[in-house]
Amino acid sequence: DKTKSDSLKQHSLYTYMMVVILLVIVAGLLYSIKKDRFQDYVESQQVLMSHSAEDAVQVLQVYIEQTRRLVSLFTAAESDLINRLAAEPDNEDLIGLLQQKLTEHIPDHFAFTLTDEDGEVLLDDFDGKVGEVCLADIRSFEQDEHAHEIFIHPNPLQYHFDMMTNITLDDGGRGIFFVSFKPDVIATHLANNEVHGHRLLLLHSHNEGMIEITADGAR
């Protein structure tokens, strides 16, 4: 009986050990499968993220180029009015007329101004729409238009970005016609290109970590 009892105990111990070993093997297999699936999930999300960002960049590049072209076309079409305003920068009627035409053709603009060939602003800005950052932007464009970069300008009235184009004045001099834009369209493009569960953030290219615009609007 004792021998039989010892045999049963050994058998039970062996069975217990086998069960434990099988459980460990199964747990290891499940962990490996779960890890592989999680890695596959992470990789698929990274692919979606990359495609989403690339699509957003392409859309925004097209929008910026179209907006820049729109400002150039408007400036060419209204060159006579702009030149009259350059000659009479205090003429409120001319300012109002140019504002009306700008609103008709470029409804999402925020402000506009005009400079002489030295980059000096000709129009008074009593509303404070053209701030110091805008003036610095104008001077940068005046020095090298090809080096001009688009970025968001903080402003108490409206965050915005600037577009500028050169004009030839009637006296033969060179001026700059300046139009600033609300960032709403850019925010909409970001929202339209976001993948579910992801956020697209437009970052400042020279100030690491600074968020310029999200799908909710400017920073």
Tell me: pLDDT of 2 over 50.
Answer: no
Quick check: helix, strand or coil at residue 20? Answer: helix
Mean pLDDT over the full length of the chain? 81
Report, as an integer, the average pLDDT of 48-61. Answer: 87
Residue type, 204: H
pLDDT over 70 for what percent of the chain? 80
Q: What angle do CA 24, 28, 34 make, to 5 degrees?
A: 145
Q: Is residue 13 scored above 90 in pLDDT?
A: no
Question: pLDDT, tens digit, for every residue of 94-147?
Answer: 999 999 999 999 988 988 989 887 778 888 876 777 878 888 888 888 777 766
Is the pLDDT reported for residue 189 higher than 80?
yes
Which of 49-53, 160-164, 168-172 has the largest mean confidence?
160-164
Residues 57, 60, 64, 69, CA torsion sign: positive
Mean pLDDT of 175-190: 89
Query: Helices 92-105 and 2-77: crossing angle, nearest 10°?
Result: 140
User: Which residues, in sequence order, are CB contacts of 118 under 8 Å at separation 6+?
Assistant: 142
Pairing status of strand 161-168 against strand 109-115: unpaired
Which residue has better confidence, 162 or 18? 162
Helix (H) or strand (E) holding 211, with range, is strand 211-214
